[in-house]
Amino acid sequence: MKLGSLRWKLTASHLLLVVFSLALAAAYLVPALVQLQTEMYERAVLSQARMAARMLEGSQAGGLTLSQLDAAANRLAWRPEVYVGVKDADGQAPATSRWAQAGPVPPEVTAALHGAPSPVDIRYDPVLGETRLFAAAPLVSNGRVTGVVQISVPHVWVQAVLNRVWTALGTALLLGAAAAWLLGAWRARALSAPVQELAFTAGRISAGDLASRATVASRDEIGNLAAAFNRMADQLSQKLDALTEERTKIEAIISSMSDAVVATDGAGRLLLLNGAARDLLGLRPDDAGRPAADALGDHAVWRALDHTARRGTDAAEEFTLGSGARERLFHLNATPLRAAGGRNAGAVAVVRDVTEFRRAERLRRDLTANVSHELRTPLTSIKGFTETLLAGAAADEQACRRFLTIIDAEATRLMTLVDDLMALSRLESRAEPMELGPVRLDALVEEAASRLRPQAAQHHIALRASAAGTLVVTADADRILQVFTNLIDNAIKFTPEGGAVEVTLREDGADAVVSVTDSGRGIPPDDLPRIFDRFYRVERSRSREAGGSGLGLAIAKHIVDAHGGRIMVTSRPGAGSTFSVALPLAREATSAPAN
Ligand SMILES: Nc1ncnc2c1ncn2[C@@H]1O[C@H](COP(=O)(O)OP(=O)(O)OP(=O)(O)O)[C@@H](O)[C@H]1O
Ligand SMILES: [Mg+2]
């Protein structure tokens, strides 16, 4: 039994109760017993004295002297420790007495001599050297008090009886205490066991074992407490299950988000980061729990999180990461996290890569401006020449022909531009379904080359086409031909006279790759990323001379993408460029193609 435990306290209180009541009983009982015992002894001694007096009065009448009376009295002693003696009318023992001793007359003797009822005196007897009980009775002869009979017994005798009482009381106390202890311990055990069981179960639940329940069968208050406790545990585990489910859902949502989610706690440690946060911001999974300042460094995201958590207000900003072609634009939204009582509990930031979004936005904006600009140039030219003709130049037949030829060329250019724009728009909106079928690329490459041979010859450019065997892809033949035509057309256009253009077809893994290599002026590295944008031209003025609108490559890229292929470019300024188109090979490469 542990000191201070409920069992200990209950047992101790039992014990205390018993000991206290016994002690209380003893406190009242013992003085009463002492008095009773003393009185009994006193009465006994007194009546002995009176009896002895009556007997000795008879002897006195027979003429015995005081000394003889004293000797006779001595013989009346019923035990050696008892003294029975005679005193004369002055209260003095006869000279012959063994116990004769001069001194003041004791009170019981004085009282007896005066004929008063003798009190019993308890005092120290210097002759016997102990405390004794003294009693005296008058000796009466002829109606006159002639002396007294004195009796004394040791006071120890009274004490001896009392001692027995004390021993009995002590034994009762000990037995009572032992019984109280045993009984108390047994009851306390019965009472404290269910409480202990409850405490044990509560401990297990708080340690995480939510299935643990108290098994208390008693129908008393503790039983009710146990039932209430079990109900509470049921509710707790239900709530926890619901919370866990909720948390799992939220975690799934956050981890599947394409936006980066980063949260910090009140101490600036990383609380949460999803997969996108690792990809976009270069964080590692084990960064969770680390101080955000260490994991993120002097980063816009960390600054925003810190700022938001401190200020307690939302924040939105944009920032860039990386440089040059690798530069990415991010949009960040941060919200403070508030704990109970409005305490700062950190902040959460959602970061989105808006590079593509902004690019598309810019493209859309540019498109209108570009289209208007592209349309305006030929229209201005047409209008200028028409006005000149109307102003009288029509009369000069030669000038008239020259101007009309120019107007015709500009109109053609306008038509091509509009056709290209419409083609691009159709491709983008997927308005026209592609007519897919098995296509022999070697034949297609040869056809594109043969269409552009006259143009190459005109510019004194050697155009070679070669194919490494028969390669079949599933494609829309007309559109793929349009891609090859544009690539070869560009190669011829942007290669100075005397140069060479080579078209090759080869197999590369699961792809068929068509490459158009020229020995032209090449494309500066800064322009390469934008070369497939609509209306993008490296040198605006010079390409316009060549009659291009800058839509060819954009259309080509759309077509190749729609086929699940890739279009790539490598270039060295001054040394030439290579445009490659990779298209996935058809699986049944042996089946006979249509073209
Ligand atoms: N082989 C090449 N060598 C150098 N520059 C090239 C080459 N191919 C394309 N370019 C550059 O890319 C730009 C875009 O080409 P794209 O084919 O889209 O337009 P375009 O040829 O000018 O006009 P369009 O094809 O609509 O008639 C060209 O204006 C040119 O500046
Ligand atoms: Mg072109």
Atom of ligand 1 nearest to the CA of 532: 18
Can you give the pLDDT at residue 591?
Answer: 47
- Contacts of residue 276, Cβ cutoff 8 Å, sequence gap at least 6: 257, 258, 259, 260, 261
Quick one: 70 and 89 in the same domain?
yes
- Residue 187 counted as domain residue: no
Which of 490, 494, 538, 559 for a ligand 1 pocket mutation test, highest count of atoms within 8 Å of Cβ?
Answer: 490
Quick one: 506 and 443 in the same domain?
yes
First to last CA, the chain: 101
pTM (2 d.p.)? 0.49
* Boundary (domain end) residue, out of 131, 162, 193: 162
Can you give the pLDDT at residue 543?
Answer: 47
Question: For the sheet containing 500-508, what is the strand order?
Answer: 462-467, 500-508, 511-518, 576-584, 566-572
Residue nearest to atom 8 of ligand 1 (CA): 490
DSSP 91-142: S---TT-TT---SPPPHHHHHHHTTSPPPPEEEEETTTTEEEEEEEEEEEET
Quick one: 87 and 126 in the same domain?
yes
Report how far ligand 1's centroid is from the alpha carbon of 487 (Å): 8
Quick one: 270 and 156 in the same domain?
no
Quick one: 83 and 147 in the same domain?
yes
Decide: 555 and 424 in contact? Cβ < 8 Å.
yes
* Boundary (domain end) residue, out of 162, 196, 213: 162
Report how far ligand 1's centroid is from the alpha carbon of 543 (Å): 7
Atom of ligand 1 nearest to the CA of 554: 18
Quick one: 423 and 319 in the same domain?
no
CATH of the domain at 459: 3.30.565.10
Phi, psi of 530 (to 5 degrees): -105, 5
Give CA–CA dist 569/245, Å, rounded.
51
Which of 543, 545, 559, 568 for a ligand 1 pocket mutation test, highest count of atoms within 8 Å of Cβ?
Answer: 543
- Residue 189 counted as domain residue: no
- Contacts of residue 133, Cβ cutoff 8 Å, sequence gap at least 6: 41, 42, 45, 120, 121, 122, 152, 153, 154, 155, 158
pLDDT digits (tens, 9 = 90+) for 400-458: 999 999 999 999 989 988 998 888 888 888 877 888 999 999 999 999 999 999 999 99
- Contacts of residue 462, Cβ cutoff 8 Å, sequence gap at least 6: 456, 499, 500, 501
Quick one: 388 and 532 in the same domain?
no
Quick one: 407 and 544 in the same domain?
no
Report how far ligand 1's centroid is from the alpha carbon of 375 (Å): 18
Quick one: 444 and 579 in the same domain?
yes
- Residue 207 counted as domain residue: no
Residue nearest to atom 19 of ligand 1 (CA): 550
CATH of the domain at 381: 1.10.287.130
- Residue 195 counted as domain residue: no
Number of domains in the chain: 4
Quick one: 508 and 545 in the same domain?
yes
Residues touching ligand 1 (Cβ under 6 Å) are: 420, 486, 490-491, 494, 518, 520-521, 523, 531, 536-538, 543, 548-554, 577
Ligand sitting nearest the alpha carbon of 374? 1
Tokens of 515: 């490459």
- Coil, helix or strand for 145? strand
**Domain encompassing residue 72:** 6-162
- Residue 270 counted as domain residue: yes
CATH of the domain at 338: 3.30.450.20
Can you give the pLDDT at residue 451?
Answer: 94
- Residue 439 counted as domain residue: yes
- Residue 191 counted as domain residue: no
Low-confidence stretches of the chain (pLDDT beneath 50): 543-544, 589-594
* Boundary (domain end) residue, out of 113, 144, 162: 162
pLDDT digits (tens, 9 = 90+) for 88-113: 888 888 877 776 666 788 888 888 88
- Residue 406 counted as domain residue: yes
- Contacts of residue 147, Cβ cutoff 8 Å, sequence gap at least 6: 66, 69, 86, 87, 88, 89, 113, 138, 139
Give the 3-state secondary structure percentages of the chain, helix then strand then coil, rounded to 5: 55, 20, 25
Report how far ligand 2's centroid is from the alpha carbon of 474 (Å): 24
Quick one: 24 and 138 in the same domain?
yes
Quick one: 158 and 290 in the same domain?
no
Give CA–CA dist 66/91, Å, rounded.
12
Exposed/middle/buried for 389, CB within 10 Å: 0-12, 13-18, 19+?
middle
Tell me 536's DSSP state.
-
Radius of gyration of the chain (CA): 65
